[in-house]
Amino acid sequence: MSTVGIIGAGNIGFNVAKAAIAAGHRVVISNSRGPDTLHDTIDQLGHSHARAATVEEAARAGDLVLVAVPLHAIRDLPREPLEDTVVLDATNYYPERDGRIATLDSNLSTTSELLQRHLPHSHVVKAFNHINAKDIPAHGLPAGTEDRRALAIAGADPGAKAVVRAFLDTLGYDAVDLGGLSKSWRVERDTPAYGVRMNAEQLKEAVATTKRVHQH
């Protein structure tokens, strides 16, 4: 059993928390407005398995920490509490929400690389960005089940990716390793794998043939 810190209590954060609790993990969840705004969230998740906290507390409490905030908000994340921590990056780039980001528009970076630059001493792994939030607690299946859904991961640290792969397995998902953070664009918005249920072989085939286009 791990403790999962969650920064961002929106759809992705809430549904990862729900799935993690169902798998036997503890959850410490936070948002930018403070724990007093999360009473309803904790009521839904269950007081025996989840607690609300500040962002810094969630960052320190987690054996691994999910970042599920709008991309423009990553610059507000605290660095020191996340040092030497496995950080799961669920961010996606939506220019209409985040504003234009030149390095993403020109494909010089990925969202995960931006987060890694902001958190230079953390072990960032892309995860959960290409699955619809409501599907996270609903689509998990036991290991070895035929046609089990797979989720992509990407990151620089093999040990961190092994931690995330094991965590995904407890939630009921296979993991497909894309490589480094620079490859995480293969499952970003408007790609064939984005939001689509695929098993590991299907996902591997989809990401292998995905073409990179300029953001618009």
Query: What CATH architecture applies to the domain 3-208?
Result: 3-Layer(aba) Sandwich (3.40)
**What is this structure's pTM?**
0.96
Sheet holding 123-126, edge to edge: 50-52, 26-30, 3-7, 64-67, 86-89, 123-126, 150-155, 174-177
CA dihedral 90, 56, 161, 48 (to 10 degrees): -90
Please tell me the predicted confidence (pLDDT) of residue 213: 77
DSSP secondary structure string for all residues of 103-116: HHHTTS--HHHHHH
Q: What is the pLDDT along the chain (216 residues), one digit of tens a residue?
A: 799 999 999 999 999 999 999 999 999 999 999 999 999 999 999 999 999 999 999 999 999 999 999 999 999 999 999 999 999 999 999 999 999 999 999 999 999 999 999 999 999 999 999 999 999 999 999 999 999 999 999 999 999 999 999 999 999 999 999 999 999 999 999 999 999 999 999 999 999 999 987 655
86-89/26-30 β-pairing: unpaired
Q: Which residues pair with 124 in a beta bridge?
A: 87
The helix (run of H) or strand (run of E) holding residue 35 is none
